[in-house]
Amino acid sequence: MDMIKNMKEDKRVRAFKTLIVMMSIVYILGFISACLLFLKELLSFLKQGENFIPLMLYIQFLLQIGVFFWILYNLSKLLAQIVKNRIFDAGNSRIMERVAYGAFALAAISIGGALITSLGHGRFEVIFGEILGNGLQLFLLGMGILVIALVFKVGTRMKKEQDLTV
């Protein structure tokens, strides 16, 4: 019975890993195309001194993709720990904290990009939509993940104390 359960868990883990790989491939292709568009916009800006807003949007996108890859990397490390049945491990809470900090970074990039873009266009209504939309949601997501990381820390400490009792 345990063998069948382990096979089902292995299938779920493989499916999750496949999903992470597929998402990484899509984002890598998006990253490459964004880099090419960024170079095109940079050359256009340097030649003609055009508006810097498209250039800033590409920089924001590249930063977000980098942070997203960092989050995916940490999530794959967390998944590897869970597969090894090391759920309440000290490293897992640190990994979850890094994921939370990644969410905070995405929120800051989103809000900063909205501020720069809207100030460049002279419109302030975009600021409130972006701050209350993506920025606040990502910040709250980071806070939730940080709380879960603290719960994992407490669970790790309790597990250590339980392991010491005879």
What's the pLDDT tens digit per position in 129-146?
Answer: 666 677 888 899 999 999
pTM beyond 0.85, yes or no: no
Give the chain's end-to-end CA distance (angstroms, integer). 30
Query: What residue ranges do the domains of the chain occupy?
Result: 2-164
Q: How far is 92 from 100, CA to CA, in rounded Å?
A: 12
152 close to 88: Cβ distance less than 8 angstroms: yes
| H-run or E-run covering 116 | helix 90-121
In angstroms, the CA 16 to CA 8 distance is 12
**Residue (of 108, 25, 114, 106) closest to 64 by Cα position:** 106
pLDDT band at 88, cuts 50/70/90?
Answer: confident
Measured in residues, the chain has a length of 166
Q: Indicate the SS3 state at residue 123.
A: coil
16-61 pLDDT per residue, tens? 778 777 877 877 777 777 777 767 766 666 666 556 666 677 778 7
